[in-house]
Amino acid sequence: MNIYEITDLFRGILHTTGVFNFQWKLIIMWGVGSLFMYLAIAKKYEPLLLLPIGFGIFIVNFPLVPLMGYSDGHAQLIEVFYHYGLEWEIIPCIIFLGLGAMTDFGPLIANPKTLLIGAGAQLGVFITFTGTVLAGFTLKEAASVGIIGGADGPTTIYLTQHLAPQLLGPNAIAAYSYMAMVPLIQPGIMRLMTTKSEKRIRMRQLRPVSKREKILFPLVTVGIIALLVPSVIPLMGMFMLGNLMKESGVVERLTETAQGALMNIVTIFLGISVGATMHADSFLSWKPLFIFSLGLIDFGVCTAGGILTVKIMNLFLKEKINPLIGSAGVSAVPMASRVSQIQGLRYDKNNHLLMHAVGPNLAGVIGSAAAAGMFIAMFD
Amino acid sequence: MPALFLMLFPAVTIGEDFLGAPVVPHIRTIQKTETRLEILSDLTHDDALAFYREALREEEDIKFRDWKDATYIEDDGNREWHSVTISKEGKEGTEVVITKDSWTWIIGTLILRYVGVFVVLLLLFLGLKISGAFISRAIAKMDVKKDGS
């Protein structure tokens, strides 16, 4: 064996290593992944999602790692999760099943007029759409970016995967990051948009809701949504199935699985798949940065939209609604409700708004799903 | 097949277009403004549709909607034109209308869809009100029966 053969031998081995195929831009993505892991571990921001997302970003940005792609015609590990979970639009629907099994719609049923707040809070979704089109995105991309303001992770992922899968990573991360930052984003807008007397409005205690009403709710809701926005039924249908399972009380084992083990399993696959879509080659461009900045405005406008809707409703209502619960019209359950509660207590130590805010909060979930359905119907 | 296509639809090859949208061979221009072109073609609806399917075959973000009285081709991308409507009921020929992409359409559809979200939740509100009233009445009746017995 001569020196050339030995060099070739080493070169052959070197070519199979990540070191030889290294690119500097990968370091930036390691930083992005590490940042999300830091936020999850140290700051506890949406750790269930940001941790696997951060790790997904980190691990996929090493050269030659066989995770997202195909080798010899076979899909690689995360590609399989991504293909069957997200491309087939299954994971967001299963998450909605689990969310339904966890949700008590009592406060919304007791005060159904708060549904309108959930609609009003979608204002930012439609305004952001316009801004995104102006920036040069296609209409489908604009719709997928706009829905971030609805503050509903599964809906954002569902719509983005449906209309603009190339933006899945940035959109999902923007949605979950801003959801985690609701306590930082919303209070300033709430303070700015409400007067002192409005902040102190006390609302009557909610009436108790019977079990029959709770059982009927998912059926009525799914029926109406199916008639008006059929395109979003995969999400809403699963949401309401989960809730019916919970409220019926006859399938406790299924309810427990849906809200526990099943939800946890798909959350792992969701997080790592979303993170793995963010390879340096596709992520390092102006679009993700633009989505992040616009997402913030989107959130702000949605919050303002909810508060504004309450103010308009108060013009016609005898029993006034505290506008501080308007901000909960963005989904972000239950974080947005907690923000309303904390802000309410700041101005009146005996004014507990939590249960009142849960109504618009849940309406926000339905509202953002309805908005997503409107967009899907527009493009399909 | 390409040769036959070139024979049938020479307009594609000579690149006749309106705002970037291919224009089907036509016998008369009904109306032409900066934002709208209305033409009458002697091709049948199906032939005109085949023309556009072929001409836009490799374009992304284009969808074909089959309506009762027309086929509506819509661009969801960033092209200068927004839609091509091919009528199905022309007497003298097939009417084809090409329109410019406009902010009026975007803003209009957004407002309508935002209102649509309100309508959905408003109907849900009414549904809850009605079902709630129905259940309350049924429970009250049952309570009265219980008290009676």
The reply to whether A46 and A98 lie within a common domain is no
Out of A96-100, B45-49, B98-102, which region has the weakest mean confidence (pLDDT)?
B98-102
Identify residue B82 by its one-letter amino acid code.
Answer: H
Residue B18: strand, helix, or coil: strand
Per-residue pLDDT of A343-360, as tens digits, reads 999 999 999 999 999 999
Which chain A residues touch B135 with a CB distance below 8 Å? Answer: 210, 212-213, 216
The reply to whether A328 and A245 lie within a common domain is yes
Q: Which of B76, B117, B127 comes nearest A224 by C-beta?
A: B127
Q: Give the domain extent around A375.
A: 75-379
* CB-CB under 8 Å, B121 with A363: yes
Token pair of B75, please?
């661009």
Q: Which of B120, B135, B139 comes nearest A228 by C-beta?
A: B120
Question: How confident is the model at residue B1, as a pLDDT?
Answer: 47
The number of domains in chain A is 2
Closest chain A residue to the Cα of B135, Cα to Cα: A213
Angstrom distance (rounded) from CA A116 to CA B128: 13
Angstrom distance (rounded) from CA B116 to CA A255: 32
User: How many other CB atoms are there within 10 angstroms of residue B88's CB atom?
Assistant: 17
Token pair of A317, please?
């209502």
Which chain B residues touch A123 with a CB distance below 8 Å? Answer: 114
Task: Please name every residue paired with B98 in a beta bridge, in sequence order, or none if there are none.
Answer: B37, B84
Q: What is the mean pLDDT of chain A?
A: 93
**CA A58 centroid distance within chain:** 21
Contact A119, A228 (CB under 8 A): no
Per-residue pLDDT of A111-139, as tens digits, reads 999 999 999 999 999 999 999 988 889 88
Residue B99: strand, helix, or coil: strand
| DSSP class per residue in A149-197 | GG--HHHHHHHHHHH-GGGHHHHHHHHHHHHHTHHHHHHHHHHHHS-HH
Confidence of residue A73 (pLDDT cuts 50, 70, 90): confident
Closest chain A residue to the Cα of B62, Cα to Cα: A379
The reply to whether A280 and A163 lie within a common domain is yes
Q: Which of B120, B122, B125 comes nearest A229 by C-beta?
A: B120
Nearest Cα neighbor of A299 from A339, A242, A251, A253 is A339
- Domain assignment of residue A16, yes or no: yes
The reply to whether A150 and A13 lie within a common domain is no
Question: How confident is the model at residue A322, as a pLDDT?
Answer: 96
Report chain A's terminal Cα–Cα distance, integer Å.
64
Contact A140, A372 (CB under 8 A): no
Nearest Cα neighbor of B76 from A83, A88, A167, A377 is A377
Cis peptide before A218 (omega within 30 of 0): no
Measured at the CA of A172, the angle between CA A236 and CA A73, to 5 degrees, comes to: 95
- Domain assignment of residue A70, yes or no: no
Q: Which of B106, B123, B135 comes nearest A133 by C-beta?
A: B106
| Helix-helix angle A252-259:A91-102, to 10 degrees | 120
Which chain B residues touch A109 with a CB distance below 8 Å? Answer: 128, 132
Per-residue pLDDT of A9-56, as tens digits, reads 888 888 888 888 888 899 999 999 999 999 999 998 889 999 999 999
* CB-CB under 8 Å, A370 with B120: yes
Question: How confident is the model at residue B73, as a pLDDT?
Answer: 93
For an interface test with B, the pick among A374, A375, A378 (most B C-beta atoms closer than 10 Å) comes out as A374
**Which residues are within 8 A (CB) of B123 and not within 5 positions of it... i.e. 6 or more apart?**
A224, A228
Q: How many residues does chain B have?
A: 149
- Alpha helices per DSSP H over A103-146: 106-110, 115-120, 123-134, 139-146
Which chain A residues touch B120 with a CB distance below 8 Å? Answer: 119, 224-225, 228-229, 366, 370
Which chain B residues touch A118 with a CB distance below 8 Å? Answer: 121
Q: Is A259 exposed, middle or buried (0-12, 13-18, 19+ CB in 10 A)?
A: buried
For an interface test with B, the pick among A108, A122, A123, A126 (most B C-beta atoms closer than 10 Å) comes out as A126
Q: Which of B107, B116, B129 comes nearest A374 by C-beta?
A: B116
Which chain B residues touch A364 with a CB distance below 8 Å? Answer: none
Angstrom distance (rounded) from CA A131 to CA A160: 17
Which chain B residues touch A365 with a CB distance below 8 Å? Answer: none
**Which residues are within 8 A (CB) of A199 and not within 5 positions of it... i.e. 6 or more apart?**
A322, A323, A324, A343, A344, A346, A347, A348
Residues B18-47, mean pLDDT to the nearest whole number: 89
Residue B57: strand, helix, or coil: coil
Closest chain B residue to the Cα of A229, Cα to Cα: B120
Q: Which of B110, B121, B138 comes nearest A129 by C-beta?
A: B110
Check pLDDT > 90 for residue A109: yes
Per-residue pLDDT of A281-331, as tens digits, reads 888 888 888 998 888 899 999 999 999 999 999 999 999 999 999 999 998
CA distance B114 to chain A (A): 7
For residue B31, report the phi and psi dihedrals to the nearest 5 degrees.
Answer: -155, 140
Q: What is the dihedral of CA B1, B2, B4, B6, to 10 degrees?
A: 170
Confidence of residue B142 (pLDDT cuts 50, 70, 90): confident
* B contact set with A (CB within 8 A): 61, 63, 76-78, 106-107, 109-111, 113-114, 116-125, 127-129, 131-132, 135, 138-139
The percent of residues in chain A predicted with pLDDT above 70, rounded, is: 100
Check pLDDT > 50 for residue B134: yes
* CB-CB under 8 Å, B78 with A213: no
CA distance A19 to chain B (A): 38
- Domain assignment of residue A69, yes or no: no
Question: How confident is the model at residue B9, as a pLDDT?
Answer: 56
The reply to whether A101 and A239 lie within a common domain is yes
- Domain assignment of residue A51, yes or no: yes
The reply to whether A226 and A371 lie within a common domain is yes
The reply to whether A2 and A109 lie within a common domain is no
The reply to whether A47 and A110 lie within a common domain is no
Per-residue pLDDT of B67-126, as tens digits, reads 888 999 998 887 889 899 999 877 778 999 999 988 888 888 899 999 999 999 999 999
Question: How confident is the model at residue B149, as a pLDDT?
Answer: 63
Q: Which of B63, B122, B135 comes nearest A212 by C-beta?
A: B135
Question: How confident is the model at residue A99, as a pLDDT?
Answer: 95
Confidence of residue B4 (pLDDT cuts 50, 70, 90): low
For residue B87, report the phi and psi dihedrals to the nearest 5 degrees.
Answer: -75, 155
Q: Which of A123, A138, A229 comes nearest B61 by C-beta?
A: A138
Question: How confident is the model at residue B78, as a pLDDT?
Answer: 79
Among the candidates A64, A85, A107, a domain finishes at A64
* CB-CB under 8 Å, B129 with A366: no
Half-sphere exposure of residue A266: CA atoms within 13 angstroms, side-chain side: 21
The reply to whether A153 and A20 lie within a common domain is no
Residue A330: strand, helix, or coil: coil
Angstrom distance (rounded) from CA A203 to CA A198: 11
Tokens 């409220």, located at residue:
A247
The reply to whether A230 and A268 lie within a common domain is yes
The reply to whether A23 and A94 lie within a common domain is no
* CB-CB under 8 Å, A109 with B135: no
Question: How confident is the model at residue B2, as a pLDDT?
Answer: 47
The reply to whether A327 and A357 lie within a common domain is yes
- Alpha helices per DSSP H over chain B: 2-8, 10-14, 45-55, 103-148
The percent of residues in chain A predicted with pLDDT above 90, rounded, is: 76
Token pair of A45, please?
């921001």
A203 vs A338, A354, B68, B139, CA distance in Å? Answer: 16, 11, 52, 26
Phi-psi region of A263 (alpha: psi -120 to 50; beta: other; left: phi over 0): alpha
